[in-house]
């Protein structure tokens, strides 16, 4: 009994570690599992540069950081970057679709429930 008890505890601890670690699955970020699909929502696109942009959704609560900003059409991207460079940045109103994933900041701040990463599948200018 004395030898099996530590072995059982060790196996339980190891099993728990493997279960909660996710065995290599990403828990957040662009490569994580899709939390929900966004289908043709209206939003305000802000692009600081060609490599970073985000969309504030207008009718659902969420700020979506773009995982693939290079997929934004050049005319929309250039307009958004131009407007972002102003003293008071103005958005480009767009319709967008994609796969929403948990933003990693949520792991550290539970109040950041509205932050998502978005793998963009479709975007069009709504102006």
Residue ranges of domains in the chain, CATH in brackets: 26-125 (2.40.50)
Count CA atoms within 13 Å of residue 124 on its CB side: 4
Residue 127 has pLDDT above 90, yes or no: no
Mean pLDDT of the chain: 87
- How far is the C-alpha of 45 from the C-alpha of 90, rounded, in Å? 9
Q: What angle do CA 71, 75, 76 make, to 5 degrees?
A: 65
- How far is the C-alpha of 59 from the C-alpha of 108, rounded, in Å? 26
Residue 13 has pLDDT above 70, yes or no: no
Asked if 41 contacts 57 with a C-beta cutoff of 8 angstroms, the reply is yes
pLDDT digits (tens, 9 = 90+) for 78-122: 999 999 988 899 999 999 999 999 999 988 888 889 999 999 999
Pick 98 or 13 by higher pLDDT: 98
Give the model's confidence band at 3: pLDDT under 50 very low, under 70 low, under 90 confident, else very high.
low
Nearest-10 Cα torsion for 28, 30, 35, 38: 150
Phi-psi region of 62 (alpha: psi -120 to 50; beta: other; left: phi over 0): left
Max distance between CA atoms of the chain, in angstroms, equals 74
Residue 41 has pLDDT above 70, yes or no: yes
């Amino acid at each position: 009994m004395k030898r099996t008890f530590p072995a059982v505890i060790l196996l339980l601890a190891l099993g728990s570690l493997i279960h909660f670690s996710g065995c290599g699955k990403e828990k957040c970020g662009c490569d994580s599992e899709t939390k929900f699909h966004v289908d043709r929502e209206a939003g305000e696109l802000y692009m600081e540069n060609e490599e970073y942009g985000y969309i504030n959704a207008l009718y659902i609560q969420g700020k979506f950081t773009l995982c693939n900003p290079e997929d934004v059409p050049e005319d929309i991207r250039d307009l958004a970057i131009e407007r972002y460079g102003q003293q008071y940045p103005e958005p480009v109103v767009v319709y967008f679709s994609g796969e929403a994933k948990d933003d990693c900041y949520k792991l550290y701040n539970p109040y950041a429930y509205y932050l998502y990463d978005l793998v963009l599948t479709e975007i069009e200018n709504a102006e």
